Chain A
Amino acid sequence: MIQSPHYSTIMLRNFIKLSIALLALMHLPAQAQMTITFSGSGRDLIPIAITSFPGEAALPVGLAQVVRSDLEHSGVFKIVDASAAAPVPTEAGQVNFADWKGRGAAYLALGSVTPAADGKLTARVHLMNIDGQGEKGAFAFTLAPALARVTAHKIADEIYERITGVKGFFNTKIAYVKKSGARYDLIVADYDGQNEQSALTSREPIISPEWSPDGSKLAYVSFENRKPQVWVHEIYTSRRTLVSNSKGSNSAPAWAPDSRTLAVTLTVSGQSQLYAIPSGGGEPRRLTSSSGIDTEPTYSPDGASIYFTSDRGGGPQIYRISAAGGDAKRVTFSGTYNVSPKVSPDGKTLAYVSREGGQFRVAILDLAAGGQEQKLTDTDKDESPSFAPNSKMILYATNVGGRGVLAMVSSDGQIKQRLSVGGADIREPAWGPQGK
């Protein structure tokens, strides 16, 4: 589809407005769309303008439009309207700093797309510091037209990192389970829900997908053999292996950071307990011996500890053990129901789901300070939190109108967003590692 740059800007804005206003009334397109439903006012967002990139009409999707969408989802930036800029600057020397300052922009990204060898194209980008009246940086990517979306995500990552000093999360994948009628699909999509692909379809439930550290495999629980079993699935070769099929239930796979081991929950002892198995399948080694439920293991990024959910003290709380097993230390103390732990990739924060007064909300705990629990969300049926690779955003599932939807919240709770997928019931999201 060819779109004039001006038209695409208007369309994006109108789409966001429409989505907010008519969410309950209209059927959204089948493709997932991220919609910002609420923004906290407690933090200043950096105003940035992204011009259209002359020449991008040769691509199946406009780069500038995707970059704007990414930065709008960043939790750091707000987009300044660049549609009135004429002529559109393509070189650093053409920027009228006063004009952009007048529009309220602190930064401006401009660029162009020109033909290169072998049917490829070159996208050049200049990042301008409007307040400092200078160029913050320039970079270029050579791309095949089919890689327009990935390239736009890489451009957004560059902009994000050059301004904030932190790596972006736009060139990442997420996995989730989509239920449509009696059918379950294990979906892999871009972080923003675009580019959805089904890796597995089944008439029996699929739960708990977890990415291998290199992003090439998913471990998950499938009920296709009429009981929960753990599979490892190479998503780009479609090769899958049944790695845990002990008597009873096999569930809750978690990858050790070295990829060689999976922590799983098995019930061979008559209770749900944690075990370690080789990630290619093999003999389980018992990690916990409690009188209650131990489940939902997740490794710390250094691989030294496993956080998990246990009801050994009554209600479910989060505990920590050494990855080799041994004595457990209790980690959460407020409330009577804390489940589904995940440690941020920087190791500083624990995210989990906390129930209070019948409402299930994403909460975090500062692991370094050993501190106070903080509730992040205002939705009430939250499940399965997982961190972006840069630890700045948390993806989770919640429920709107009886239907599962994906949502994101910044790790400081300030920015909340919702991902809508037309008609389907979405659950069990997992954010993949940093893309290459």
Chain B
Amino acid sequence: MKRLALLLACTAILAACSSTPKNQVPITEAGGGAPPSSGNTGPSTGNIQQVQAMTPDEELMQGQLAKRSIYFDLDSFVVKEEFRPIVEAHSAFMKRNQGRKVMIEGNTDERGSREYNLALGQKRAEAVKSMLRVMGVGETQLEAVSYGEERPKSTGHDESAWAENRRADIVYPIK
């Protein structure tokens, strides 16, 4: 635990000192301060917008990146439009952090053969992986695997439970 905290602290310092903006995400003031007007672009005038430096792990806790599950319709393996922003956010993150290996884990509902469901879950994982590849993420960074029906998010036996279990999860393994 101590070692992890130390590691995070070191990473944070490195990120803060870095001259590249790759870990910098604009933060909007919670108090609702006036946005900078378009005319104020000179070197000495206008509001300053604060940038918060974050470690990649902190970044993964924010916004779209905090969402890791892509849900699918019954018997469907197509990533629905509503989940595209999540995949886009992760593709951008993966491209900024090419050292991070990523697992895409496919899942199904409980009905039917376990091995066939493993193959159906794989199709969902591959669909998300393909989308990430099209968005420019490298092949070596990605691995699509399946848990089939073995790892349900909801253990119920009705349509609402099954819908929760038809999904692909984007997983960043702890190194």
Residue B143 at the A interface, CB < 8 A? yes
Which residues from B are CB-within-8-Å of A337?
112
A interface footprint on B150-168 (CB within 8 Å = 1, 0 otherwise): 1100000100000000000
Cα of A248 to Cα of B123 in the assembled complex, Å: 11
**In the complex, what's the smallest C-beta–C-beta distance from A260 to chain B, in angstroms?**
22
Question: Once bound together, how far apart are the Cα atoms of A293 and B147, in whole Å?
Answer: 16
The answer to whether A296 touches B103, judged by C-beta atoms less than 8 angstroms apart, is no
The docked-state distance in angstroms from the alpha carbon of A296 to that of B120 is 13
Q: CA of A340 to CA of B114 in the docked complex: distance in angstroms?
A: 9
Bound complex: CA A337 to CA B146 (Å):
21
Q: With a CB–CB cut-off of 8 A, which chain A residues contact B130?
A: 270
Nearest-neighbour CB distance to chain A for B60, whole angstroms, equals 18
- Residues of B close to A427: CB separation below 8 A: 114
Q: Enumerate chain A residues within 8 angstroms of B119, measured Cβ to Cβ.
A: 251, 265, 272, 293, 295
Between-chain CB contacts (< 8 Å), 20 pairs: A205-B147, A205-B151, A207-B148, A223-B147, A226-B173, A228-B118, A248-B122, A251-B115, A252-B115, A265-B119, A267-B145, A270-B144, A271-B123, A271-B126, A272-B118, A293-B123, A295-B118, A337-B112, A339-B116, A383-B113
Q: Which 7 A-B pairs have the closest CB atoms?
A: A205-B150, A272-B119, A339-B113, A227-B145, A293-B119, A295-B119, A252-B115
Does A227 lie within 8 Å of B115, measured CB to CB? Answer: no
Q: Are A296 and B122 in contact (CB under 8 A)?
A: no
Q: In the complex, which residues of chain B have a beta carbon less than 8 angstroms from the beta carbon of A265?
A: 115, 118-119
The interface residues of chain A lying within 8 Å CB-to-CB of B115 are 207-208, 251-252, 265, 295-296, 309, 339-340
Contact across chains for A249 and B146 when beta carbons are under 8 A apart: yes
Question: Quick check: B150 and A207 within 8 Å, CB to CB?
Answer: yes
Apart from A251-B119, A296-B113, 19 more pairs, CB < 8 Å: A207-B114, A207-B148, A208-B114, A221-B118, A226-B103, A226-B173, A228-B118, A248-B122, A265-B118, A267-B144, A270-B130, A293-B120, A293-B123, A295-B115, A295-B118, A296-B116, A309-B113, A339-B113, A383-B113
Q: How far is the CA of A353 from the CA of B116 in the complex (A)?
A: 11
Please, how many angstroms separate the alpha-carbon atoms of A74 and B145 in the complex? 42
- The verdict on A360 contacting chain B, using a C-beta distance below 8 Å, is yes
Q: Pick the contact of B145: A228, A296, A355, A384 (CB < 8 A).
A: A228
Which B103-121 residues sit within 8 Å CB-CB of chain A?
103, 111-116, 118-120
Tell yes or no: A103 within 8 A of B by CB. no
Cβ of A360 and Cβ of B112 under 8 Å apart? yes
Question: CA separation between A251 and B113, bound complex, in Å?
Answer: 13
B126 touches A267 (CB 8 A): yes
Nearest to A207 among chain B residues (CB) is B114
Q: Among the listed B112, B126, B146, which residue makes an inter-chain contact with A228, where contact means beta carbons less than 8 Å apart?
A: B146
Instruction: Report A360-392 CB contacts with B as 1/0, cut-off 8 Å.
Output: 100000000000000000000101100000000
Q: What's the Cα separation between A28 and B29 when bound, in Å? A: 62
Contacts of A42 in B (CB 8 A): none
Q: Are A353 and B113 interface neighbours, CB within 8 A?
A: yes
